[in-house]
């Protein structure tokens, strides 16, 4: 029986950074451990679609030489990471989850991946994504195995499903994903890890397959909030989220009419988190948005504007030529935009802009908004075996996350303890655009409260 090597970052990014500089571990050693874990676990989990073994080891060796010569690139130096197969990385294939050639739509390596390399990260390879990142489930493409259940093959959601599985199974130090309607947060919640969706424009998306450019964002997934905070600070501007207490914090809580019905186990975990937040000094403020009308507006934007943007990227003739080679779930979404009148597309884009403009006034007096990340837990793959069931899962599982993209808010999901109670459930926290540092400060404090308490 093969002995699985211990995760070299099990105690977090800063502990690894300390040990690396003390000479207790090297970038190569850390990379070798993850490659060994990937070789053992990935055949079942299928988190990675491509493993860059030689390239990763060469990068790790180069970083070790740099550090030994006195060049220190910062806290992320030598950290092995996973990148969603929506991002171009020099020397690696890029497929956006498709069997078709999409390189012309993606282009060469972009600024974000370049910044990842400048920070000294070792890119282990590419993680799976649903085709075109258009939704949370595919039928003809492999679905990674959610590590939350070793017996039943459950979906990890999507579209950043490989990244979430890689983090949950400790197959990387942290992972990169993208989020247009919940594609980082939903799989992170279903796999029991942390997922950050940044505000639109925080990081450039050149070299990333465009699903819906007006709402596409780059995101981070990690085992805990502190690691996400460190990675965000290094890759953004160096400003680390400060530790803060929760006494006096005011968090908006959407009323019953603002969210579709949630599963009983999700409702129980959510109520658990609210009770412990109040006990920690948080004031929970009932809010009445998204209103019922805005909920319908959000659905219309994702039914019309988003697939129209994707269809514009792919091209109508290209789609017609290849539609029988595309996953049926993606085809159904693209077909919805086929006859969309141009005036309706313009109306939807303007509607999205108006909804985003509402947030500033609505957030007055609030530090953030909390709610469940998704109304359900990870479903067995056997229950998502046709277009209707898979499409219904996509729509329902993303129903709580899409608002943050439409309103242009930053958002994060953190696990609600405890794992012994069953499948993972996530708590979503949202703040105004460009308030990532505040969001991460809140998330660190909230995570401490809801991950150390039990019923």
* Domain parsing of the chain, residue ranges: 1-455
How many other CB atoms are there within 10 angstroms of residue 203's CB atom?
Answer: 21
Judge whether 393 and 180 are in contact, CB under 8 Å: no
Exposure string for 281-300, b = 16+ CB within 10 A, e = fewer? ebeeeebebbeeebbebbee
Residues 68-82: what's their mean pLDDT?
A: 98
Dist CA 455 CA 449 (whole Å): 12
Judge whether 101 and 56 are in contact, CB under 8 Å: no
Q: What is the pLDDT of residue 68?
A: 98
Residues 267-293: what's their mean pLDDT?
A: 96
Residue that the structure tokens 């919640």 belong to: 189
Domain boundaries 1-455, corresponding CATH code: 3.90.1300.10
Residue positions annotated with a catalytic role: 84, 159, 183
Q: Which residues pair with 219 in a beta bridge?
A: 177, 197
Judge whether 217 and 197 are in contact, CB under 8 Å: yes
Q: What is the pLDDT of residue 454?
A: 45
Which of the four pLDDT bands, split at 50, 70 and 90, describes residue 421? low
Cis peptide leading into residue 187 (ω within 30°): no
Which of the four pLDDT bands, split at 50, 70 and 90, describes residue 420? low
Judge whether 310 and 331 are in contact, CB under 8 Å: no
Residues 58-72: what's their mean pLDDT?
A: 98
Strand duo 283-287 + 250-254: pairing: parallel
Residues 116-163 pLDDT 10s? 999 999 999 999 999 999 999 999 999 999 999 999 999 999 999 999
Angle, CA of 408, 410 and 411, to the nearest 5°: 125
Dist CA 121 CA 79 (whole Å): 5
Answer left, alpha or beta for residue 425, where phi above 0 means left and psi between -120 and 50 means alpha: beta
Evaluate the CA torsion angle 298, 275, 412, 92 in order and state its sign.
Answer: negative
Report the percent of the chain where pLDDT is more than 90.
Answer: 94
Residues 254-279: what's their mean pLDDT?
A: 94
- Cβ-count burial of 158 within 10 angstroms (0-12 exposed, 13-18 middle, 19+ buried)? buried
- The answer to pTM > 0.95 is yes
CB < 8 Å & 24+ apart, contacts of 103-109: 105/209, 105/210, 105/313, 105/314, 106/207, 106/208, 106/209, 107/206, 107/207, 108/207, 109/207
Dist CA 246 CA 277 (whole Å): 8
Dist CA 163 CA 196 (whole Å): 12
Q: Name the H helices within 315-410.
A: 316-322, 328-335, 342-362, 387-397, 402-406
Residue that the structure tokens 């085809």 belong to: 331
């Amino acid at each position: 029986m093969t002995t699985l090597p211990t995760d070299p970052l099990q105690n977090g990014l800063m502990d690894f950074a300390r040990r690396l500089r003390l000479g207790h571990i090297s970038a190569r050693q850390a990379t070798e451990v993850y490659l060994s874990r990937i070789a053992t676990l990935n055949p079942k989990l299928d988190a990675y679609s491509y493993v860059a073994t030689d390239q990763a080891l060469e990068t790790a060796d180069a970083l070790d030489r740099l550090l030994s010569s006195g060049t220190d690139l910062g806290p992320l130096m030598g950290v092995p990471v996973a990148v969603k197969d929506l991002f171009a990385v020099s020397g690696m294939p890029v497929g956006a989850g498709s069997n078709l050639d999409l390189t012309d739509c993606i282009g060469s390596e972009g600024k974000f991946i370049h910044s990842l390399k400048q920070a000294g990260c070792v890119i282990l390879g590419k993680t799976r994504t649903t085709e075109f990142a258009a939704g949370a489930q595919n039928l003809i493409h492999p679905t990674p195995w959610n590590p939350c259940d070793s017996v039943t093959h459950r979906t990890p959601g999507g579209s950043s499903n490989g990244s979430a599985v890689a983090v949950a199974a400790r197959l990387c130090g942290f992972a990169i994903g993208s989020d247009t309607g919940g594609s980082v947060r939903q799989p992170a919640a279903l796999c029991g890890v942390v997922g950050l969706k940044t505000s639109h424009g925080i990081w450039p998306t050149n070299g990333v397959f465009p699903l819906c450019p007006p709402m596409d964002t780059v995101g981070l997934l990690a085992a805990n909030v502190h690691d996400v905070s460190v990675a965000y600070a290094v890759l953004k501007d160096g400003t680390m989220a400060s530790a803060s207490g929760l006494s006096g914090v005011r968090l908006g809580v959407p009323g019953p009419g603002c969210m579709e019905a949630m599963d009983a186990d999700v409702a129980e975990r959510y109520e658990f988190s609210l009770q412990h937040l109040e006990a920690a000094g948080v004031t929970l403020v009932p809010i009445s948005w998204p209103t019922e009308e805005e909920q319908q507006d959000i659905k219309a934007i994702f039914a019309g504007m988003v697939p129209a943007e994707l269809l514009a990227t792919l091209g109508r003739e290209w789609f017609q030529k290849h539609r029988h080679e595309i996953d049926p779930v993606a085809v159904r979404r693209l077909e919805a935009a086929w006859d969309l009148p141009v005036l309706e597309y313009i109306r939807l884009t303007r509607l999205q802009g108006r909804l985003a403009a509402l947030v500033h006034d609505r957030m007055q007096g609030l530090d953030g908004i909390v709610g469940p990340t998704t109304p359900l837990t990870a479903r067995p793959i056997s229950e998502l075996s046709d277009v209707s069931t898979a499409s219904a899962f996509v729509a329902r599982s993303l129903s709580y996350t899409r608002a943050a993209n439409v309103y242009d808010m930053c958002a994060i999901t953190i696990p609600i303890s405890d794992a012994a109670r069953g499948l993972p459930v996530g708590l979503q926290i949202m703040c105004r655009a460009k308030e990532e540092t505040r969001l991460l400060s809140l998330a660190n404090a909230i995570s401490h409260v809801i991950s150390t308490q039990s019923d």
